[in-house]
Amino acid sequence: MPALTHTRHHPATRGSVDIRLPWWALALPALAFVALLTLILNPADAHAATGDPAVTHLFERVQQLVTR
């Protein structure tokens, strides 16, 4: 017994791609980016281990440049 095949009623258009993302596919990365950015901009909330003073100085300079 042969299997039934479904034919397309509308021919496929070439050159355009129709991709639809769910709302959370854009919201979750944006939320994660904002959360990490707030941790960088407010280092009082983040308690890191003491390290090399040069690295600490570098992060302070980056924070000053970002907040301008």
Reference 30, options 20, 18, 38; nearest CA is 38
> Residues near 55 by Cβ (< 8 Å), separated by ≥ 6?
none
pLDDT at 63: 87
Q: Which residues of the chain have pLDDT under 50?
A: none
Question: How many Cα neighbours within 13 Å face the side chain of 15?
Answer: 0
CA 9 to each of CA 6, 12, 60, 61: distance values in angstroms, whole numbers, following the listed order: 9, 9, 62, 62
pLDDT at 9: 66
pLDDT at 32: 94
Q: Which amino acid is at 37?
A: L
Total-model pTM: 0.38
> Residues near 59 by Cβ (< 8 Å), separated by ≥ 6?
43
